Amino acid sequence: MPGRSLTRIVALGAIAALSLTACANGSDSGTGTTGGDAPTDLVISTDLPLQGASASTSESTNNLIQLYLDQVGGKTGKYNVKLKTYDDSTAAKGAWDDAACAKNATDHVANASEVAVMGTFNSGCAKIEVPTLNRDTTGPLLMVSHANTNPGLTKTWETGEPEKYYPAGKRNYARVVTTDDYQGNAAAAFASADLKVKKCFVLNDNQTYGLGVARAFADAAKKTGIEIVGEQAWDVKQPNYTALFQAVKASGADCVYLGGIYDNNGGQLIKDKAAVLGDNSQVKLLGPDGFTGYNDLLKLPQADGLYLTFAGLTTDQLIAAGGPPAKLIEAYKTKYGAAPTGNYPLYGVAAMQVILAAIAKSDGTRAGVTNAVLSGEGITIPKAESVTGKEIKIDPASGDTTAKDITVELVKGGKETFFKSQSVQ
C-alpha cells in the first residue's frame, strides 16, 4: 500500500505541477481588458429552483421573462440586456439548497457583466444571497424578488432583521410582492368584516412562511375583535388530523386559518377539517396564497367554500382584464402551447420590469442600478405598462412594493373564483 498510495500522490502532484507550468506559459498572453466606458451589453440573471417541486413554475418564469425580453427587443435605455439563468436547487434535495444559493451569490458577484439578479423564489435562499451581494465592492448588486414574502428581508421582524442582511449598511434588495404580514392583515380584516366570524383557530405548518402568515393573521385578528381560541402547528408527516380538528371543535371556533403551503399535507388537512367540523359554509376555512395555484386542491370536493388570499391579481383575472399581461400570456401560449404555471411567472416579469427601468435610469454600473431602485424616488411602473395590471411602485427606503392590494378568492365548483378585492393599511 505505501508504494501505491505514493504513486497516486506523485501522480496528483505531477498533474498539479503540470497545470502550474501550463498556466505559467499562458499567463504571458493574458491581458486585462477592464476599465473604460460603462459596458453597453449587460446581463440580468434569474436565480430560481429549476429542480424539484418548484421546477415547472421556475421554468415558466424563465421562459416568460425571455419572451418579454424578446418582445422589448432585448434593450432598455441605451443598454442591450441578456438573460442568464442560475439554478439554486440540487436534484438530490429537490428544492433550493443553501450551498447552491451561496455558490450562486458568489457567481453573481464574480460575473462582471451582471448588473442585477431577478429572484430568488424562496425567502430562505434570499437570506443567504443578499448579504453576499451586499458586500460586493462594485455594487452592492441589486436583487429584485418576485416571490419572497418573508417580512424579515425588508422590515423589522425577528431579532436583528433586516439590518443583518445588509452588512455594508446600504440596501440592495427589493421585491414586487407584498409580505406575509399584509396577507395576514387582509385575511383578518376580511374574516371580521365579511365573514363576521367571532372565534378563530389558527394553524401553521411550522415553516418560516406558514408561521409568518399565521402570526400576522392572529395579531391582526385580535385587533379586529376576533378571539383567537387556539394556535397550533400541524405535523406535516401525520397521516390524519382528526384529533387536531377535534380540539378545534372543542374550542368552539367558527373559523379556521391555515397558515402554510398546500404541499405540506394540505389536502389531508382540508379533508379532515370537513370530516370533523362539517363543510366550509359552517366553520369557515381561510388560507393564504400558499394554497393557491394547486389543481389537486381544487379537485377536492371538501375545498369548496375555502377562502384564499393572494397578493396581487391571479393570472385568470389579468387575462380577463386585457392589456399587457393578457398580450404576454397570449404570446406565451402560442409559443409553448400552454399558459405559464402558477401566478408567479408574471410577477417574475414584473420584477424584470423594475430591473429594466432601473438600468435605463442608471449609468449601467451595479451601484448605479441599485441606486436607481433604492434611492431618490425609486422605480414606478405605470399601470398601462405593468404586467400585473396595476401600478408597481417600489419604496426606495425599504425596497417593498407599495401596492398592497390583496385578492380574496373563493374556491367554488373546482375553480378559484374572484371574490373581492381587499386593501390593507
Partner 1 sequence: MATSTAPRTSAPSPSRRSLSHYRWPIGYVVVIVGLFLLYHFILPNLVTQVSGPVTAWLPVATLNECLMWAIMALGLNVVVGYAGLLDLGYVAFWALGGYTAGWLMAAPFNWTWDFHLFGAVAKTYPGTHITFWLVILIAGVLCAILGLIIGAPTLRLRGDYLALVTLGFGEVITQFFRNSNDIAGRNLAGGDGGISIIDPIGTGPFGATGLVPPGLSNGAQDNVYKILVLGLLVGACLFISLRIREGRLGRAWLAIREDELAASMMGVPLVRTKLLAYAVGAFFGGIGGVANAAGITGAVSPSGFDFGKSVLVLLMVVLGGMGNVWGVTVGAFLLAWLNSNGLKQIGVQLDSWFGTTLTATLPRYNYIILGLLLVLMMLYRREGLIPEKRTKALMNTPSRTEMESMGAESLEAAAETAAVEKADAKTDAGIAASAAAVSPVLDESTPKREDRS
Assign 68 to helix, strand or coil: helix
- Contact region with partner 1 (CB under 8 A), list: 16-24, 347-355, 362-370, 408-416: 16-24
Residue placing its CB nearer to partner 1 in the complex, 60 or 192:
60
Cell of 354: 423594475
Q: Give residues 139-168 in contact with partner 1 (rule: CB under 8 A).
A: 150, 152, 158-160, 164-165, 167
Work out how close the CB of 249 gets to partner 1 at its nearest, in angstroms, rounded to a whole number.
Answer: 24
C-alpha to C-alpha distance for 329 and 312, rounded to whole angstroms: 16
Q: State which residue, 65 or 381, has the beta carbon closest to partner 1.
A: 65
Task: Report the residue from 84, 98, 249, 391 that binds partner 1 according to the rule CB under 8 A.
Answer: 98
Residues 6+ apart with CB under 8 A from 73: none
Place of cell 374574516: 191
Residues 332, 335: Cα–Cα separation, whole Å:
5
Assess 38 for contact with partner 1 (CB under 8 A): no
Backbone angles phi, psi at 345, to 5 degrees: -55, -40
d(CA 304, CA 328): 31
| Contact predicate 419/307, CB 8 Å | yes
* Nearest-approach distance from CB 142 to partner 1, in angstroms: 17
Q: Is 34 near partner 1 (CB under 8 A)?
A: no
**3-state DSSP percent of the chain in helix, strand and coil, to 5:** 45, 20, 35
The only residue of 66, 80, 90, 380 in contact with partner 1, by rule CB under 8 A: 90
Instruction: Say whether residue 238 binds partner 1 (CB under 8 A).
Output: no
> Does residue 381 bind partner 1 (CB under 8 A)?
no
- Measure CA 396 to chain center: 19
Can residue 10 be called a binding residue for partner 1 (CB under 8 A)?
yes
User: Residue 2: is it exposed, middle or buried by C-beta count within 10 angstroms (0-12/13-18/19+)?
Assistant: exposed
Across the strands, what pairs with 259? Answer: 204
- Residue 118: which of 164, 162, 175 has the closest Cα? 175
As measured in angstroms, the least distance from the Cβ of 23 to partner 1 is 4
* 41 touching partner 1, by CB under 8 A: no
Chain residues 322-361 in contact with partner 1, contact rule CB under 8 A: none
- The verdict on 281 binding partner 1 (CB under 8 A) reads no
Among 43, 44, 50, 202, binds partner 1 (CB under 8 A): 50
Which of 47, 87, 254, 416 is close enough to bind partner 1 by CB under 8 A?
87
Q: Give the nearest distance from C-beta 50 to partner 1 in angstroms.
A: 5
CB of 49 to partner 1, least distance (A): 11
**Shortest gap between Cβ of 32 and partner 1 (angstroms)?**
9
Binds partner 1 by CB under 8 A, chosen from 44, 143, 211, 303: 211
Task: Quote the CA–CA distance of 96 and 91 in Å, as a whole number.
Answer: 9
Distance CA 190, CA 423 (A): 10
Per DSSP, 313 falls in state -
Minimal distance, residue 131 CB to partner 1, in Å: 5
Can you give the length of the chain in residues?
A: 425
90: left (phi over 0), alpha (psi -120 to 50) or beta: beta
Dmax (CA) of the chain: 82
Question: How many residues interact with partner 1 (rule CB under 8 A)?
Answer: 63
Q: By CB under 8 A, tell whether 91 contacts partner 1.
A: yes
Cβ of residue 51: shortest distance to partner 1, in angstroms?
6
In angstroms, give the least distance from the CB of 164 to partner 1: 4
Residue ranges of E strands in 123-260: 142-145, 173-175, 199-204, 227-233, 255-259
Helix (H, G, I), strand (E, B) or coil at 49: coil
Nearer to partner 1, 61 or 422 (CB): 61
* Phi/psi of residue 198, nearest 5 degrees: -110, -40
> What minimum distance in Å lies between the beta carbon of 333 and partner 1?
20
Q: Residue 53, interface with partner 1 (CB under 8 A)?
A: no
Q: Does 239 bind partner 1 (CB under 8 A)?
A: no
DSSP bridge pairs for 96: 89
Q: Residue numbers of the site for partner 1 (CB under 8 A)?
A: 1-2, 5-6, 8-10, 12-13, 16-17, 19-20, 23-24, 26-27, 29-31, 50-51, 55, 59, 85, 87, 90-93, 95, 97-103, 105-107, 109-110, 124, 127-128, 131-132, 135-136, 150, 152, 158-160, 164-165, 167, 206-208, 211, 233
